[in-house]
């Protein structure tokens, strides 16, 4: 069908496309207005990673929660969203460890001294997450800059927008495809769980209450299950008790997470679900055998994640403090 290649038709199709918000972002957005931006974030990340290696996983979770809920606009950083609703909203609280807030806050304070009122908190989060992943041994990828911070932050927006530990594969696929990701991109993003940890309460049913006659999920690797039972023995008394998502190389960003899944060592029910369904298992097997491919696909998926529904062109603001809207700061 040669007419499909008509330059005039292609131009017409291009002109009919809506103007993309993303096109207002750029890799060198702060080149003139805040030339030390990249160095300040990099140095802050390096210091934080050296003292608290779990920050990379924390920052990635924070970015995911921000971008999946309302777009990458720093709404999740506003203190009223998280801390005042911690009891009511365990999902947000679970996914947003303090180390991630700390690294964003430290970088932002330094940036405000160097170039006040220029760099958005959402850009700091996106850049810091990429640098932290690289510091943990993961891939570096491009971070487009120029996001504005949200003017609204509602806890009620969270429900149904971020994955839960016990969701079925159908529910996970539905969630990610609704956000514009392919099944393969979803599996690649799940590889980020090669670093970090989960609280025992999130998978305790798989260990102690799987079914009436079988307390432990028989599909968990038996040695792994026994080790987890010991680690999580008193999780009811101590809710902070947790286990690494990847017990083999917990602090290193690599493809071992996928190798673990194939050995029956998926920590959460949602981790294990990835190897039970043919739609996702083929990608698990592919990434388990090819770390370079995983890094490439993860990087591309993160580039896509970190520009999801960004605000530009005056639809948001550049916050002075990441945990509060500017209108509050002026009171």
**Residue 87 assigned to a binding site:** yes
How sure is the predictor about 239, in pLDDT bands with cuts at 50, 70 and 90?
A: confident
Q: Give the H or E element holding residue 242.
A: strand 242-244
The answer for residues whose C-beta is within 8 angstroms of residue 183's C-beta and 6 or more apart is: 173, 176, 177, 279, 280, 283
Any binding-site annotation on 41?
A: no
Cβ 123 vs Cβ 306: under 8 Å: no
Residues ≥6 apart with Cβ < 8 Å to 189: 64, 176, 181, 298, 301, 302, 305
pLDDT digits (tens, 9 = 90+) for 124-154: 999 999 999 999 999 999 999 999 999 887 6
Query: Is 277 labelled a binding residue?
Result: no
- Parallel/antiparallel/unpaired status of strands 242-244 and 197-199: antiparallel
The answer to whether 75 is a known ligand-binding residue is yes
Q: Where in the chain is the domain with CATH 1.10.520.10?
A: 36-157
The answer to whether the annotation marks 73 as part of a ligand binding site is: yes
pLDDT given at position 94: 41
Please say if the pLDDT value at position 216 is more than 70: yes
Asked whether residue 144 is marked as a ligand-binding residue, the answer is no
Residue 244 β-bridge partners: 197
DSSP code at position 234: T
Q: Using an 8 Å Cβ cutoff, are 92 and 99 in contact?
A: no
Query: Annotated binding residue at 79?
Result: no
pTM (two decimals): 0.87
Query: Which tens digit of pLDDT belongs to each residue from 51-90?
Result: 998 899 999 999 999 999 889 999 989 876 543 333 333 3
Q: Is 7 annotated as a binding residue?
A: no
User: Which CATH class, in words, describes the domain spanning 36-157?
Assistant: mainly alpha
To the question of whether residue 182 is assigned a binding role by annotation, the answer is no
254 marked as binding residue:
yes
- Residue limits of CATH 1.10.420.10 in the chain: 169-304
222 is in an annotated binding site: no
Spatial contact of 132 and 100, defined as CB atoms under 8 Å apart: no
User: How much is the average pLDDT of 6-28?
Assistant: 58
Q: Scan for tokens 């990608």, then name that residue.
A: 283
Q: Which residues of 101-137 are buried (b: 16+ CB within 10 A; e: fewer)?
A: bbbbbbbbebbeeebeeebbbbbbbbbbbbbbbbbbe
Q: Which CATH number fits domain 169-304: 1.10.420.10, 3.40.50.300, 1.10.10.970, 2.60.40.1080?
A: 1.10.420.10
């Amino acid at each position: 069908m040669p007419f499909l290649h008509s330059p005039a038709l292609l131009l017409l199709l291009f002109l009919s496309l809506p103007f993309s918000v993303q096109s207002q972002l750029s890799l060198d957005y702060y080149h003139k207005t805040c030339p030390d931006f990249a160095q300040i974030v990099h140095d802050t990340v390096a210091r934080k990673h050296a003292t608290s290696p779990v920050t990379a996983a924390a920052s990635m979770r924070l970015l995911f929660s921000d971008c999946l809920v309302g777009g990458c606009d720093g709404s999740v950083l506003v203190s009223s969203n998280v801390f005042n609703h911690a009891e009511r909203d365990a999902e947000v609280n679970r996914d947003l460890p303090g180390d991630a807030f700390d690294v964003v806050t430290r970088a932002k304070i330094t940036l405000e001294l160097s170039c006040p009122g220029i760099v958005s908190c959402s850009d700091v989060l996106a850049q810091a997450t990429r640098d932290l992943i690289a510091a943990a041994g993961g891939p570096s990828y491009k971070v487009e800059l120029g996001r504005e911070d949200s003017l609204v932050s509602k806890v009620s927006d969270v429900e149904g927008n971020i994955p839960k530990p016990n969701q079925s594969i159908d529910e996970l696929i539905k969630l990610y495809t609704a956000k514009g990701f392919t099944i393969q991109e979803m599996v690649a993003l799940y590889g980020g769980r090669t670093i970090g940890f989960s609280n025992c309460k999130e998978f305790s049913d798989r260990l102690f209450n799987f079914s009436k006659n079988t307390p432990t999920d028989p599909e968990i690797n038996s040695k792994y299950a026994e080790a987890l039972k010991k680690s999580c023995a008193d999780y009811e008394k101590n809710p902070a008790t947790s286990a690494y998502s990847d017990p083999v190389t917990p602090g290193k960003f690599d493809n071992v997470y996928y190798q673990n899944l194939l050995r029956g060592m998926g920590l959460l029910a949602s981790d294990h679900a990835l190897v039970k369904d043919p739609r996702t298992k083929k990608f698990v097997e592919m990434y388990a055998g090819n770390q370079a491919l995983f890094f490439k696909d993860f990087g591309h998926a993160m580039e896509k994640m970190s520009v999801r529904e960004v605000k530009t062109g005056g639809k948001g603001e550049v916050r002075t403090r990441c945990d509060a809207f500017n209108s509050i700061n002026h009171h």
